[in-house]
Structure 1
Amino acid sequence: MATLRDRTPTDRTLKDRTAIAGIGQTEFAKRLDEPEKTLACRAIVAALDDAGLDASEVDAFASYTMEETDEVEVAKAIGAGDVTFFSRAGYGGGGSCATLAHLAAAIATGQASVGVAWRARKRGSGPRPWRAAAAQLPTPAQWTRPYGLLRPADEIGMLARRYMHQYGSTRDHLFNVALACRNRANRNPAAVMHDRPLTREMYMTSRWISEPLCLFDNCLETDGALACVVVSAERARDLRQKPVYLHSVAQGLPAQHHGMVNYWTDDPLTGPSWAAARQLWKQADFGPEAVDVAQIYDAFTPLVPLTLEGYGFCGRGDGGAFTEGGALESGGRLPLNTGGGGLSEGYVHGFNLITEGVKQLRGTSTSQVPGASTCLVTAGECVPTSAVLLRS
């Protein structure tokens, strides 16, 4: 019998050892009447039904630190059995893919057998966290908010201006991102912006939110919830849906990182995506050139070109130019955010990018990429982040 010392490094990776077997979601809307706990449980029950599993089989949970409903309440509400693993990933949108990484590690090492990851939020009808008064600001904010960077949009606006100045990126490049997401949302009946086309004139004449970011450079604020079920690869092959394998997972926190503005590094535009990407591709059997479709975190349009550079789809400073010529549209060089993303489908801290990636590899997306068998999903750039490579 082989010992741990006898195994090769490949044997110790999580490559293709687990799979997403079920996905579920509620509707997305500006205002939903149900509380977050109810939305969370609805999405989880739908994901379990999609997989053909009973709630009593769930023994692992992974969520965000910013999630209002904890695993204790969820487990009781859905009727889970004994839970042997639970974790929470931090940094808001940076934690989306990390929830899958945690479940994959737990299942691959025998700590659990059926894991559930979820995100529920009521930001459309709820409070904005940056509007709350506080006696003590968190460390990064102590150096920024007194000088006018009050919201995430202000911080990303500052990075966007640096990017435009340093590399010649333009508002047309940001429009390309917004348009690609909106065009995909127009094909997705579940998207908040399903019936609202976007034109260049609308974009260029819209009001500023934090210059150079206009209204359409900012994600939606929505209520809603999503969930997915992760099991071993072997078990997934016997369940109801086509398995979508977790080929590679990674988290990234680069040295000397400092909040969303990343002031303390030599290059503030080289963010956490670069650190996550190195680990992600190191564990994978293929590189960026073999990715058929991507779901790139899009809380703000400038994050997309920065992320494309970080994950190696183009060179440093070329992210803006990469968006030209319909590259992000269906049939383009890299079809992007095919459900509409956070900009146009719904903003649930990036979890809808995960479920859309699963739909693409199942062949059930409303903007299906023909023959898609590989998908990159990324979490938020500019905060400690995570990513997952999915394959069918």
Structure 2
Amino acid sequence: MDGLCVGGPLAHERIAELLGLNPRWSSGGDAPRSVIDAVQAIQAGLCTTVACVYGNAQRSANVQYGGPQAMGGGGILSYVYYAPWGLTSQGALYALMFKRHQLVYGTTEEQLAAIPVALRKHATLNPNAIMRERPMTTEDYLNARYIVEPLRLFDYCLVNDGGVALIVQRADLARERRHEPVLVSGFGWSELSVDATQLRPRIKDFYFPAHHDVVAQVYPMAGVTQDDIDVYATYDSFSVHLLFTLEGFGFCGEGESGAFIQDGRIEVGGELPCNTSGGMLSESYMQSWNQQVELVRQLRGGLGDRQVEGAEVAQYAHDVAGKCMSLIYTKGG
């Protein structure tokens, strides 16, 4: 293990020490960045085998994701520093995004219900999911209270403790291991840094310019198109992420995602199964690290009732605070 990427609130130097590792190369960041950094480091010859690890005790530590202590409070140059008018809540920001989507395109709350209901269905098929024993119907969703109208309780992700790890290794070495390898066949990265943490780019164009920039990178690199994607995952701290990435990445037209997600299309067995572990809404809030593990497992097979039949190409899409990234995984053979 000569490389290390660490996510969440962890410091890679300290984690290396605690794990007894002395990597030649180390870095840190969120899940897609960690995988992309690991791939690039391996390609550059800086290392051959990278442990990508994440851990968070956010529930036990009572981490605040909104209000005066959001993201470090006034102690660091956080969201609070750049939000003197008080709009620190990610839930409020995404509620306003969805409200604009409703006003511009006519998307309804009844249509949005398809996302949390589908992801809860997937969670009931996942023995690792926090919500595995709590099925949910559309009526349950619509009867839940608003947190920030028009977003309800079940549009919000879980907040829980947990950890995730995955290994990124040079392909020739990975093929010698016990498990069938999964290849990182494409990636893309684009940032909208101006006003990224604020409202303007969110309600102006739903981050579509960054999506389109990543589309131009990730699919050509992997040699696939949207039609080749067998299983799809997106960051889902809020249900509406899925609406925006489906449109921005070209799975449907702009303003058409509300209709696109109906009739089981995003469920296992549907045309485009999405967030098949239950995602962060219903499996675990691991800030998308669990999404990477789920896509690898889908391509390896053996997931029982939540297995996507014949899955060979999987995509992860990430759009948070103006930072858009995507990864395409394929069966290694």
TM-score by length of 1: 0.78
Aligned to 2:152: 214
Aligned to 1:74: 15
Q: 1:117 to 1:260 in 2, by over 3 A?
A: farther
Q: Which amino acid aligns with 1:74?
A: I
- In structure 1, the residue matched to 2:44 is 109
CA change 1:76–1:137 in 2 (3 A) is closer
Looking at structure 1, the residues matched to 102 and 24 of structure 2 have their Cα atoms a distance apart, in angstroms, of 48
2:309 match: 370
| Alpha-carbon displacement from aligned partner over 1:154-181 (angstroms, at most 9, x marks no partner) | 0100111001110111112211010110
Q: Do the aligned partners of residues 370 and 254 (structure 1) sit closer, same or farther apart at CA in structure 2, a change above 3 Å counting?
A: same
d(CA) in 2 for partners of 1:312 and 1:320?
14
Q: Pick closer, same or farther for the CA change 1:184–1:135 going to 2, 3 Å.
A: closer
Partner of 1:166: 104
**8 Å CA contact retained: 1:182, 1:193:** yes
The separation in 2 between residues aligned to 1:150 and 1:264, in whole angstroms, is: 14
Segments of 5+ residues of structure 2 without an aligned counterpart are: none
Counterparts in 2 of 1:268 and 1:353: CA distance versus 1, 3 Å: closer
CA distance in 1, matches of 2:79, 2:104: 24
Describe how 1:1-392 pairs up with structure 2 within 5 A: 58-64=1-7, 67-80=8-21, 82-89=22-29, 95-126=30-61, 127-133=63-69, 134-135=73-74, 138=77, 141=80, 144=83, 146=85, 148-254=86-192, 256=194, 258-259=196-197, 261-263=199-201, 267-270=205-208, 272-366=210-304, 367-392=306-331
Q: What is the Cα deviation at residue 249 of structure 1?
A: 1.4
- CA deviation after TM superposition for structure 1 residue 317, in Å: 1.1
Alpha-carbon spacing, 1:155–1:214, altered in 2? closer, same or farther (3 Å): same
CA shift, 1:258, in A, is: 2.4
User: In 1, Cα distance between the equivalents of 2:54 and 2:16?
Assistant: 14
The CA distance in 2 between the partners of 1:109 and 1:340, in whole Å, is 35
> How many Å apart are 1:278 and its aligned residue?
2.3
Residue type at the aligned position of 1:76: E
In 2 relative to 1, CA 136–232 (structure 1 residues): closer, same or farther, beyond 3 Å?
closer
Counterpart code for 1:331: G
Q: Which residue of 2 aligns with 1:4?
A: none
Q: Which has the higher contact order (CA 8 A, sep 6+)?
A: 1
- The Cα shift of 1:242 comes to 0.5
The one-letter amino acid of 1:226's match is: V
Q: Give the CA deviation at 1:96.
A: 1.7
What one-letter code is carried by the residue in structure 2 that aligns with 1:391?
Answer: T
Preserved CA contact (<8 Å) 1:193 1:345: yes
Q: Which moved more, 1:169-178 or 1:211-220?
A: 169-178
AA aligned to 2:301 is G
Please identify, of 264-273 and 96-105, the stretch whose mean Cα deviation from structure 2 is larger. Answer: 264-273
Q: Is the 8 A contact 2:207 2:319 kept in 1?
A: no
CA contact (8 A) 2:114 2:138 kept: no
**One-letter amino acid of the structure 2 residue matched with residue 59 of structure 1:** D
Deviation of 1:272 after TM superposition, in Å, equals: 3.4
What is the aligned-residue identity percentage? 28
Partner secondary structure for residue 55 of structure 2:
strand
1:209: how far off?
Answer: 0.8
1:332 partner amino acid: G
Quick one: structure 1 residues 262 and 234, their matched pair in 2 at CA, closer, same or farther if it must change by over 3 Å?
A: farther
Query: Quick one: which amino acid aligns to residue 216 of structure 2?
Result: R
Amino acid at match of 1:324: Q
Q: CA deviation at 1:383?
A: 3.3
Tell me, yes or no, if the aligned pair for 1:250 and 1:388 is still in contact at 8 Å: yes
Per-residue CA deviations over 1:42-86 (Å, capped at 9, x if unaligned) read xxxxxxxxxxxxxxxx1111233xx23222222222222x32211
CA distance in 2, matches of 1:357, 1:128: 29
Cα distance in 2 for residues equivalent to 1:348 and 1:63 = 13
Q: 1:136 to 1:226 in 2, by over 3 A?
A: closer
Question: 2: distance between equivalents of 1:293 and 1:151?
Answer: 31
Unaligned runs of 5+ in 1: 1-57, 90-94
**Alignment length (residue pairs):** 326
Q: By how many angstroms is 1:271 displaced?
A: 5.7
Is the CA contact (8 Å cut-off) linking 1:298 and 1:380 kept in structure 2? no
1:310: Cα distance to partner?
1.3
What is the DSSP-based 3-state SS (H/G/I as helix, E as strand, rest coil) of the residue aligned with 2:263? helix
Aligned-partner SS, 1:325: coil
TM-superposed deviation, 1:255 = 6.6
Q: Which amino acid aligns with 2:87?
A: L
Q: Which amino acid aligns with 2:36?
A: A
